[in-house]
Amino acid sequence: MKRKIFAANWKLYKNPQETKKFFTEFLIPGTDSELYFFPPALCVEQALICTQGTRVQIGLQNISEYLEGAFTGENSAQTAKTMGCSAILVGHSERRTMFLETNEQIHKKVITAIVLNLKVMLCIGETLQERESGKTEVVLQQQLEIALKGVADCSDLMIAYEPVWAIGTGKTATPKLANDTHQFIFSWLQSKGWEKTPILYGGSVKPENSQELMNQEFISGFLVGGASLNPESFARICQSL
């Protein structure tokens, strides 16, 4: 049976009070899926309190590659782990495009998280221009190869495929396009003996399209932005079987 994973990326939305309200209203689905929330760093503590004793796992949306030091404004994965976080989101396209994160930096963050035994949700994805010029596979392969260079153990790894043109735009990839691209990522993982690594889809996932996407062979779950901010709509997405 497919491992099913539902992850919420809250980006820079919600304060601790709103975080508390969300978890009061969010009904954790009764299935055996895995659930992750990536709230803004300042809401992590509240999210951990609200989800204590449940199977919900909390993580940071971004980490410093350094554990500590003179790095003003950064967040430490080590501190996140001490607080009770179990996962880290790395390489989101907003980090790549707006904060100019390179594949090399993403690689360092992946290694930092792995050293701390944190689960890594590595985001990859092509821009519209890259897709239209036929470069999707080359871009994805390069993102995977550089980010995961030297990584020997994939047990704590998840891949989130998020076509940049589908993020926050309302333009979801068609189930076929998403599945074909997931199959390409699967083949790459398989060539390393990592065929059990789950591949999540992200980009305008909503309750209206999540079931059809989940029906696709190579889609193991979702990384959800906008629709994860509402407890009812995210709970409906988490019902995709």
Q: Does 29 bind ligand PGA (CB under 6 A)?
A: no
Least distance in angstroms from the C-beta of 190 to ligand PGA: 25
Which CB sits closer to ligand PGA, 125 or 152? 125
**Per CB under 6 A, which of residues 109..138 are in contact with ligand PGA?**
none
Q: Does 221 bind ligand PGA (CB under 6 A)?
A: no
- Say whether 208 is catalytic: no
Least distance in angstroms from the C-beta of 89 to ligand PGA: 8
Annotated catalytic residue: which of 34, 65, 92, 126?
Answer: 92
The residues with which 90 forms a beta bridge, in sequence order, are: 122
Least distance in angstroms from the C-beta of 166 to ligand PGA: 6
Closest-CA residue to 203 (of 232, 239, 172): 172
Least distance in angstroms from the C-beta of 171 to ligand PGA: 9
Binding region for ligand PGA (CB under 6 A) out of 41-49, 193-201, 202-210, 211-219: 202-210
Strand 119-124 and strand 87-90: pairing? parallel
Q: Please check whether residue 131 is in contact with residue 64, taking contact to mean a CB–CB distance below 8 angstroms.
A: no
Q: In this chain, which of 58, 114, 205, 213 binds ligand PGA, going by CB under 6 A?
A: 205
- Say whether 107 is catalytic: no
Annotated catalytic residue: which of 65, 101, 130, 162?
Answer: 162
Tokens matching residue 225: 């932005």
Which CB sits closer to ligand PGA, 67 or 139? 139
Q: Which residues are catalytic?
A: 92, 162
Footprint of ligand PGA (CB under 6 A): 9, 162, 167-168, 202-205, 223-227
